[in-house]
Structure 1
Amino acid sequence: MPAAPATTADTFRPALHYAARNTWLNDPNGLIFHGGVYHLYYQNNPLDNVWGNMSWGHATSTDLLTWTEHPVAIACDEEEDIFSGSIVFDRNNTSGFGTDSAPPLVAIYTSSFKPGTKLEGIQAQSLAYSRDGGYTWTKHSDNPVLNRNSAEFRDPKVIRYDGDAGSYWVMVAVEAKDFQVVLYKSDDLRNWELLSTFGPANATGGPWECPDLFPLPVNGDPENLKWVLTVNLNPGGPNKGSAGQYFVGDFDGAIFTSETTVTEGVDHQGRLSEYQWLDWGRDYYAAVSFSDAPENRRLMIGWMNNWDYANQIPTSPWRSPMTLARELSLHANGGDLRLVQKPVGDWAAAADPTKSFSLNETVISGLQVLDGAAGAVQRIHVTFTPGSAEEFGLVVRGDGMQGTRIGIRPADGSLIVDRRSSGLTDFHECFPSLDTAPIRATEGSYHLTIYLDRCSVEVFAEGGKVTMTELIFPAAASTDLAVYTVGGTATINSLQVDQHV
């Protein structure tokens, strides 16, 4: 069902982000555009609002902002929990689960076998299929289809490879505690052959999870394709806890070769700032991309939470939202290959044009609350030029003095999100935090786009090359927007605030 309006009992329910009606969710699974609809499946506890009873929940959208919740798609049972995975449209009915005239959707998921079962303690890959466009599912009678007799083999993302090596399905999954991505091929989704492995490399501070593999044109040039491998890890992120990293390189149909590996092997925690992160914030995890998105766009959604405190965040009866969908592109600047992420969705249709606020070419000093700019759900565009201040930025969801500080420290090239005074923070010792990301000025100025919702901020800097996603839990009355400096002045070149309807 669409996100409900906030009430006294549900102050934090998001307006722009998906959250289940009254249950727990975590990793997005099986993202696919099919039949003119975006399908979002996800790890779901249909019986409670903490982790457990893992099944696949289901929601759909036509605009990536408004979501309709559906009944549980693939449920756990006495044999297995249904862990993360992906969905493909089997156009040529290679699996035989449909017909040539009515090909099926096929889900490839991790079976986590329960105590007392034949495969107790094993994680292996299984199939389910849908013949009605993704609303009802039948588990394959011969599951699992790929078993390495491993307790940590999970999270299959399956893609269709068509290249010089042939045409076939490719699965990327993980041996989580080996910090290794494993790649397999199949002609029919039922029988799998090992291709290669990748890793350990770069960040290895926690088990690897939820990989993805996809091609992107460099600077929009279709003749210059690179492949991007994403892999999440928990813990081991740049600001502690859960996070996602990415590698850029080539894939020849069998082997992924990274051009952006900084360190190989394990235990390089002192070099986290050198790695390429999908997001530098505390609350962007398990991100995967949609299959078959229109116009070959690469659209990605992450889970907006952190395993450090995921089960304790103060929301009820639901717990955990998803991030906004983001479109990914790949840009080269010299030898530097970087992902650029930009939110998708029709913000203009979601905004109230009568409640916008703007400010131009204004020198700021100290803390100044902006009259007429208050709001709980906003999109903010702001450009700053440094002056003498050692730090400058915005305070969002404030009460006149305290709030969430989003700032820039030009001397050390840092973007910060400080949520130590953001509202409710005492539900877990790891939640109050001051998190940082590297940021560079563009022609002497800094531009930020911020999406503010009732329990979150998503910050896009350097045109989307740097992002920070953080949960916050402010009081309902804390809606002030302020500008601030520390130790001097700065200039706001432009500030545009759009309010959600």
Structure 2
Amino acid sequence: MNTTADLDCRYRPKWHYSAQRNWLNDPNGLVYSNGVYHLFYQHNPDGDTWGNMSWGHATSADLHHWAEHPVAIPCDEQESIYSGSAVVDVHNTSGFGTPDNPPLVAIYTSAYTSGSPLAGLQAQSLAYSTDDGTTWMKYSGNPVLDRTSADFRDPKVFWYDGDAGSYWVMVAVEAARREVVLYSSPDLLSWEYLSTFGPANATGGVWECPDLFELPVDGDASNTRWVLVVNLSPGGIAGGSGGQYFIGTFDGVTFHSETTVTESVQADDTRMADYSWLDWGRDYYAAVSFNNIPDGRRLMIGWMNNWQYAAATPSDGWRSAMSLAREVKLVSRSGRPVLVQEAIDPFEGHGTENLTLGRQRLNPGLTWLPDDVSGEILRIDAEFEPGPAGRVGIVLRGDPQRKAGSDVSSAGAERTVLAYDSATGELSLDRTESGNVGFHKTFPSVERVAVPLEDGRIRLRMFLDRCSVEVFAQDGTATITDQIFPADTSTALALLAEGEGATLVSFTVVH
């Protein structure tokens, strides 16, 4: 929830962070400190399109209610402040604080402009805060790591403590070469090269915003794997921006992938569905995780937009929002670990359940739900047994003027359709008639992901906000995140079945 004053309430989300004004993209510097979640982000303080890149700043105690703060790290005449990360320097290795007051340290990419002797280069720099993120000072010795490259960016830094020793690790990218490069440091100031990973799997665009973290498999602390996240644009599974991940091992020096399908530098479109994707929608990019979460959970946030049309989305005075925070875990599926995601539920403790349906046969066509169930900000939990019916699912944000009809294929009705096709085994989200889709030619789309039934059933959890849909299928084994821009009157819901034999197992709507 945004605690700043609303500007253009029509599409302004309630539970997804958006800057009060102007442009927002990649989440940066996600860090937890003294009971507060810090969200920094790419921000243009002076307009609602990309430019003047600086770090915006918001904080939250619960990941739902966000307070916006002044720009944390502004651009200047010599550098733009590109993406990066932040750490709590607990042992004051940098010397920026004291043992009793350890500093927050931001590690960001300096994109040097024409006013700098390093014009055209990208290198890694530091800023620090000794008042828990309220004010920031750039380090006088910047940059701390320069490869004399024009595309070296997006450092994610974490503290490694393992067989190889204890030190800071930086995971960054040589974006145009589709490489993840790793460095180590004892103090955040001096860095030593460790290794390079890639190119691998999806390489249809530049690689950006990497992350590397360790997770237990099935909650077993004695059996862990490392997850390497690599965002890329274009070249995502649904078109444009997207995020992939690799699962493997990290020995403190080198990441070894167990899930590489192809190492070809050329994009292999025939293998795209074989790669591991963070999200199968169009609008989940630059996702990175929080540092310093006290209970060991791994929480991520992504930018809920796509570079193909990000500058054209129809909001007034502000542009773009973040995804809900998600907890990610590794679970065994068919004998191998896969990443599953669960949204940090904003309706928990804040919502009211206003419809619960039990097991029942679905009539072919559309079954519209009562008006008091409708809404633009909802959580919906549904479980279906598709049986022989073909496609089953839900019409979201439907045009109430069309509620009298039960024809699944009626043209011209404003709606977003989430459906499972038992013939293909695919879950799809169709936003081609979701409202305002004409602002960019690539926006109307249908997203698809193969999702096996479990005991003949498909389980779905959906979060609707004013301009978005986030879908978690089979307990987060697959996710689809898409923006939508419907009329504010299009709030109707309907159950969908294209033939006989489908069963609704359960259905709950929470406002």
Q: TM-score, normalization: structure 1?
A: 0.97
| Aligned-partner Cα distance in 1 for 2:130–2:345 | 29
| Aligned-partner Cα distance in 2 for 1:5–1:493 | 41
3-state SS of the aligned residue for 2:195? strand
| Aligned-partner Cα distance in 1 for 2:488–2:389 | 31
Post-superposition offset of 1:299: 0.3
- Segments of 5+ residues of structure 2 without an aligned counterpart are 403-412
Aligned partner of 2:422 in structure 1 is 410
- Segments of 5+ residues of structure 1 without an aligned counterpart are none
Aligned partner of 2:394 in structure 1 is 394
Post-superposition offset of 1:100: 1.7
3-state SS of the aligned residue for 1:270? helix
Post-superposition offset of 1:367: 1.4
Contact (CA 8 Å) 2:387, 2:456: kept in 1 or not? no
Aligned partner of 1:437 in structure 2 is 449
Contact (CA 8 Å) 1:64, 1:345: kept in 2 or not? no
Aligned partner of 1:218 in structure 2 is 217
Post-superposition offset of 1:296: 0.7
Code of the aligned partner of 1:349: G
Contact (CA 8 Å) 1:369, 1:481: kept in 2 or not? yes
Alignment of 1:348-367 (within 5 A): 348-353=348-353, 355-367=354-366
**Structure 1: which 4+ aligned runs deviate by more than 3 Å?**
3-7, 355-360
Aligned partner of 2:461 in structure 1 is 449
Code of the aligned partner of 1:352: T
| Aligned-partner Cα distance in 2 for 1:326–1:105 | 23
Aligned partner of 1:343 in structure 2 is 343
Alignment of 1:283-432 (within 5 A): 283-353=283-353, 355-371=354-370, 372-399=372-399, 400=402, 401-432=413-444
Task: Please give the root-mean-square deviation of Cα atoms over the aligned residues, in Å.
Answer: 1.4
Contact (CA 8 Å) 2:2, 2:15: kept in 1 or not? no
For the pair 1:486 / 2:491, whether they are aligned, the reply is: no
| CA offsets 1:102-152 (integer angstroms, 9 cap, x no match) | 111110000000024200100000000000001110000011010000000
| Aligned-partner Cα distance in 2 for 1:2–1:116 | 36
Post-superposition offset of 1:35: 1.0
3-state SS of the aligned residue for 1:492? strand
3-state SS of the aligned residue for 2:423? helix
358-367 vs 146-155, which deviates more? 358-367
3-state SS of the aligned residue for 1:364? coil
Aligned partner of 2:408 in structure 1 is none
3-state SS of the aligned residue for 2:273? helix
Aligned partner of 2:508 in structure 1 is 496
Post-superposition offset of 1:4: 6.2
Contact (CA 8 Å) 1:283, 1:305: kept in 2 or not? yes
208-217 vs 100-109, which deviates more? 100-109
How many aligned residue pairs are there? 497
Q: TM-score, normalization: structure 2?
A: 0.95
Contact (CA 8 Å) 2:4, 2:68: kept in 1 or not? no
Aligned partner of 1:111 in structure 2 is 110
Post-superposition offset of 1:269: 2.2
Code of the aligned partner of 2:157: V
Post-superposition offset of 1:492: 1.0
Aligned partner of 1:199 in structure 2 is 198
| CA offsets 1:265-313 (integer angstroms, 9 cap, x no match) | 2222221000000000000000000001130110000000000000100
3-state SS of the aligned residue for 2:348? helix
Code of the aligned partner of 2:418: I
Code of the aligned partner of 1:340: V
Post-superposition offset of 1:5: 8.3
Code of the aligned partner of 1:411: A
398-407 vs 61-70, which deviates more? 398-407
Post-superposition offset of 1:336: 2.3
Code of the aligned partner of 2:30: L
| Aligned-partner Cα distance in 2 for 1:50–1:485 | 42
Post-superposition offset of 1:388: 2.8
% identity of equivalent residues: 56
